[in-house]
Structure 1
Amino acid sequence: MKKIFKLASIAMIATMSMGAFAGCSSSSSGTSSSTKSDSKKIGMVVSTLNNPFFVTLKEGAEAKAKELGYELLVVDSQNDSSKELSNVQDILQKGVSALILNPVDSDAAASSVAQANNEKIPVITVDRQANGGDVICHIASDNIKGGEMAANFIKEQLGDKGNIAELQGTPGASATRDRGTGFHNIIDADKNLKVVSSQPADFDRQKGLTVTENMLQSNPDIQAIFAQNDEMALGAVKALNTSGKKAIIVGFDGGDDAKKAVDSGEMTATVAQQPDLMGSMAIENVKKILNGESVDKNIAAELKLYVNLNYS
């Protein structure tokens, strides 16, 4: 295997492949017909706070809201789309002037967005898209490019030949779809690279452990694992340690636990996002919307590859 230089960075600057961003004004903002909104109160509905990535996302939003003088109301959907809808309904009743939504499931989130649209409350989505409703602005990493980064790294380390396993995220989430699309764009184009198993583990560490154990039993010659987030990658680390096997493990998010695992050699790399930046950007764009300014329809945050110095 080739040795890898520490913190090899590949910047994915905020550029979208479908042409220039369309400007979008705050015409969707306004006062609810049933509940008077408070211009200094913002609602934030997060898919789960049982994941360090989304905790950091929340903390970034909270810090920026405090700096700009907003009250931020944060609720946890606990990875349950029905709870997400209930959370949105509840938070709208508290008179928020804008809604920041991090969906559990992109299709199901359309109902949540529609609730805010009915109350004429502007919606920003973060990290995961909503497949329906009027969303003024979406802030996320370019997950397709991130999946491609992971695949190209694995391909290089395997020497263009090998058996690969994939741990998928929550079915229906846009991050699951896009990271998988990017990964398969690269891997499926090379006949010498074979994905021997691809299974969902719901972005969860314990499920990542269990699914990886099952994969290793069915396919003992797995040489690399791509996990669509760090939590699943850390579960895969534990499964490999228990089995006594070795494999390249690449995660996605760049959380502190994952970086420590990369530094120690347990993980090989992670595609690092900046959730605190995304949370901060969401608040900044809410401020623009509430001030009647135009914002970009899609805003991409930078990605970089965090890799181990001595993996071989």
Structure 2
Amino acid sequence: SSAGSAPGAPGSGRRGALRFAGAALAVAVVVGGVSYLNSGSSGGAKKVGMSLSTLNNPFFVQMKEGAQAEAEKAGIDLTVTDAQNDASQQANQLQNFTSSGVSSIIVNPVDSDAVGPGVRSANQADIPVIAADRGVNKADTATLVASDNVAGGKLAADALADRLGGKGSIVILQGTAGTSASRERGAGFAEGLKAHPGIKVVAKQPADFDRTKGLDVMTNLIQSHPDITGVFAENDEMALGAVKALGGKAGKSVSVVGFDGTPDGLKAVGAGTLYASVAQQPSELGRIAVQNAVKAAKGDTVEKTVKVPVKVVTRENVADFS
């Protein structure tokens, strides 16, 4: 650095020796680290990488916490990265995990298609990949640990139909296009609505699982559809954005159903502004993902799909969840 001693200045020899010792130590650490990683690939899981789509969402923060608790219990070195909802950033994270020789990788895709090449690279390096919450397209995963999103979508349709007495006009706030969670929840909801022909979907629009976008999209939808009586949002963050846009109508003339059972979502259910949320168990998803990552790294058999149950939470039973 520019602040270092000039050659031949008093103390420069000592500093040089210290620098050499520091460099030798760094090499030893790197060599030790490499042998530690290599021991992980032969003797079961030691080091696991986890790439989450975003940590700007309470659901994924809870998933991370569940994963960390399980890793600690199992004595696993878990590295968690945040892709910030950017598919190219996630691709880089997967590449880094693969080249650093982790025992297994857990990925919660930003986009189920875009993540394919990164997962295929891990496949080629014989690193098992666990998909969490969302599936991976055009690549092999050892297992998918996910909530039963289709069943959850059907439950949401039934809950909203019951609340509306089987008739009314509703809008749907969709999640990020290209995610299996959005596709499956939407499909389950559409399937569930078939039993309630008196309910008409007047608009569907993506708000990318984001609260602010949920607020913006809902504000626009209210202007073009002022007479709606219900909203289904494919996650709680968008549902809470919709509640804000609806103001005094939320929970009174318009019933909103969300999905996830996040702490903020459950609070809104308790307050009556959100009619219901289909509660997932994000920390359980994280925990089970790590368990499967450890098993897959050891070469043990894992189920191709692990479905974590979901439940409808309304004001009547919200105390059991919070």
TM-score between both structures, scaled by the size of structure 1:
0.85
User: What residue ranges of structure 1 are gaps of 5+ in the alignment?
Assistant: 1-31
Matches within 5 A, 1:1-312: 36=38, 38=40, 39-188=45-194, 190-241=196-247, 246-309=253-316
Counting aligned pairs with the same residue, the percent is 49
Q: Give the alignment's Cα RMSD to 1 decimal.
A: 1.8
Partner amino acid, structure 1, of 2:134: R
CA distance in 2, matches of 1:90, 1:292: 22
SS of aligned partner of 1:96:
coil
Q: Deviations over 1:23-45 (max 9, x none)?
A: xxxxxxxxx9xx84734100000
CA distance in 2, matches of 1:72, 1:242: 45
CA distance in 2, matches of 1:291, 1:129: 22
CA distance in 2, matches of 1:117, 1:95: 12
More helix by share: 2
CA distance in 1, matches of 2:39, 2:90: 20
CA distance in 2, matches of 1:43, 1:192: 48
Q: Deviations over 1:257-308 (max 9, x none)?
A: 0000110111111000001001000111122222332111000001111102
Q: Choose between structure 1 and 2 for higher RCO, CA contacts under 8 A separated by at least 6 residues.
A: 1
CA distance in 2, matches of 1:222, 1:93: 52
Query: C-alpha displacement at 1:95, in angstroms?
Result: 2.2
Query: C-alpha displacement at 1:188, in angstroms?
Result: 4.3
Partner amino acid, structure 2, of 1:55: V
User: Could you say which residue in structure 2 is the equivalent of 1:25?
Assistant: none
Partner amino acid, structure 2, of 1:88: L
SS of aligned partner of 2:265:
helix
With 106-115 and 219-228 compared, the bigger mean Cα shift is at: 106-115
Query: C-alpha displacement at 1:92, in angstroms?
Result: 1.9
CA distance in 2, matches of 1:272, 1:37: 39
- The 1:206–1:124 alpha-carbon spacing in structure 2 relative to 1, beyond 3 Å, is same
SS of aligned partner of 1:271:
strand
Check the 8 A contact 1:37/1:95 in 2, yes or no. Answer: no
User: Could you say which residue in structure 2 is the equivalent of 1:29?
Assistant: none
User: Could you say which residue in structure 1 is the equivalent of 2:25?
Assistant: none
Check the 8 A contact 1:248/1:268 in 2, yes or no. Answer: yes
Check the 8 A contact 2:174/2:209 in 1, yes or no. Answer: yes
Partner amino acid, structure 1, of 2:181: A
User: Could you say which residue in structure 2 is the equivalent of 1:28?
Assistant: none
User: What residue ranges of structure 2 are gaps of 5+ in the alignment?
Assistant: 1-33, 318-322
SS of aligned partner of 2:103:
strand
CA distance in 2, matches of 1:37, 1:172: 37
- The size of the alignment, in residue pairs, is 277
SS of aligned partner of 2:46:
strand
Query: C-alpha displacement at 1:190, in angstroms?
Result: 3.7
Q: Which has the larger radius of gyration?
A: 2
Q: Deviations over 1:110-160 (max 9, x none)?
A: 112112112110000000000121111100011011000000111111111
- The 1:74–1:37 alpha-carbon spacing in structure 2 relative to 1, beyond 3 Å, is farther
Check the 8 A contact 1:285/1:295 in 2, yes or no. Answer: yes
CA distance in 2, matches of 1:129, 1:184: 20
SS of aligned partner of 1:195:
strand
